[in-house]
Chains A and B, each alone.
Chain A
Amino acid sequence: MIYKMTRRAALAGVASIAMIAAGATSALAEGWKPQKPVEMVIMAGQGGGADRLARLFQSIIQKEGLASMPVLPVNKGGGSGAEALRYLKDNEGDAHKIMATLNSYYTTPLRTDIGVDIEEFQPVARMALDTFVLWVNADSDIQTLDDYVAAVKASGGEWKMGGTGTGQEDSLVTAMLEKEFDIKVTYVPFKGGGDVAKNLVGGHIDSTVNNPSEALGFYKAGKVRPIMAFTPNRIEVFPDTPTATELGHNIVYWMQRSFVAPKGMPAEAVAYYTDMFQKLSETEEWQTYTKDKALMADFLAGDELQAYFLEERAKHAAILADMEADGSS
Chain B
Amino acid sequence: MDTLALLADGFATSLSPINLLIVILGVTAGLFIGAMPGLGSVNGVAIVLPLTFIVPPSSAIILLCAIYYGAMYGGAISSILLGIPGASTAVATTFDGRPMAQQGKAGLALIAAAVASFVGGTISVVLFTLFAVPLADLALAFGPAEEFALVLMAFTTFVGLGGDDKLKTIIMICLGLVLSTVGLDLISGQPRLVFGDLPGFYSGISFLVLAIGVYGIGEILYTIETSRTAPQVTPAKITLRELGDGIRTMNKMWRTMSLGSFLGFFVGMLPAAGATPAALMAYGIARSTSKNPTSFGKGNIEGVAAPETANNAASTGSLLPMLTLGIPGSPTTALLLGGMVMWGLMPGPMLFIEQPDFVWGLISSLYTANFAAVAINIALIPLFVWALRMPFTVLCALVIVLCIVGGFAPSQKMHDVWLIAGFGVAGYLLRKADYPLAPLVLALVLGPLMEKSFRQTLIAEQGNVLAFIERPLSGAFIAIAALFFVLPLVKYLRKGGVRSIAPAE
Interface residues of A (CB under 8 A from B): 45-48, 51-52, 55-56, 58-59, 62-63, 73-74, 77-80, 82-83, 86, 111-112, 114, 158, 160, 165-168, 186-191, 194-195, 197-199, 201-205, 216-218, 220-221, 223, 288-289, 292-293
Q: How far is the CB of A123 from chain B (nearest CB, A)?
A: 25
Instruction: For A199, give its contact among B42, B143, B331 (CB under 8 Å).
Output: B143
Any chain A CB within 8 A of the CB of B326? Answer: yes
A82-B191 Cα distance, complex, nearest whole Å: 11
Q: Flag if A217 contacts B350 (CB, 8 Å).
A: yes
A-B contact pairs, 29 of them (CB 8 A): A46-B42, A46-B335, A47-B328, A51-B338, A52-B338, A55-B338, A56-B338, A56-B341, A63-B53, A78-B183, A79-B199, A83-B203, A112-B191, A166-B186, A167-B189, A188-B144, A189-B186, A189-B187, A191-B186, A191-B452, A197-B327, A198-B139, A198-B321, A199-B143, A201-B140, A203-B143, A204-B144, A216-B348, A217-B349
- Shortest B135–chain A CB gap in Å is 14
The one of A59, A83, A201 that contacts B49, using a Cβ cutoff of 8 Å: A59
Q: In whole angstroms, how far apart are the Cα atoms of A55 and B338 in the complex?
A: 8
Give Cα A47 to B143, complex, Å.
21
Rounded to whole angstroms, the CA-CA distance of A197 and B325 in the bound complex is 9
Nearest B-chain residue to A219, judged by Cβ: B348
Q: Which residue in A51, A62, A73, A165 is a CB contact (below 8 Å) of B53?
A: A62
In the complex, what residue of chain A is closest to B449 when comparing beta carbons?
Answer: A191
Q: How many A-B residue pairs have CB under 8 A?
A: 145
A46 interface neighbour in B188, B202, B331, B452, Cβ under 8 Å: B331
Set of chain B residues within 8 Å of A197, measured between Cβ atoms = 326-327
Inter-chain contacts of B335 with A (CB < 8 A): 46-47, 55
Kindly provide the distance from the CB of B86 to the nearest chain A CB, expressed in whole angstroms: 17
Chain B residues near A114: list those with CB within 8 A.
Answer: 199
Given contacts A189-B187, A201-B140, A220-B349, contact A74 B456 (CB under 8 A): no
Q: Are A221 and B50 closer than 8 Å at their CB atoms?
A: no
**In the assembly, what is the distance between CA of A160 and CA of B462, in Å?**
10
Find A55's partner among B49, B327, B328 (CB 8 Å cutoff).
Answer: B49
Nearest A-chain residue to B185, judged by Cβ: A166
Pick from A59, A80, A204, A288: contact of B460, CB under 8 Å: A204
Q: Which residues of B contact A (CB under 8 A)?
A: 42, 46, 49-50, 52-53, 139-144, 183-184, 186-189, 191, 199-200, 202-204, 271-272, 321, 325-328, 331, 334-335, 337-338, 341-342, 344, 346-351, 412, 452, 456, 459-460, 462
State whether A223 and B199 are in contact (beta carbons under 8 Å apart), knowing that A167-B189, A188-B460 are contacts in the complex.
no
Contacts of B204 in A (CB 8 A): 78
Known contacts A47-B335, A47-B338, A167-B189: A158-B462 contact under CB 8 Å? yes
Give the residue name and chain of the A residue nearest to B351 (CB): A217
Q: A56–B342 Cα gap in the complex (Å)?
A: 6
- Nearest residue (CB) in B for A191 is B186
| Complex: chain A residue closest to B333, CB-CB | A47
Q: Beyond A166-B187, A204-B144, is A186–B460 a contact (Cβ under 8 Å)?
A: yes
Complex CA–CA separation, A83 to B204 (angstroms): 12
Output the least CB separation between A212 and chain B (Å). 12
Query: Residue of A at shortest CB range from B200?
Result: A78
Contacts known (A220-B349, A220-B350); A194 close to B326, Cβ less than 8 A:
yes
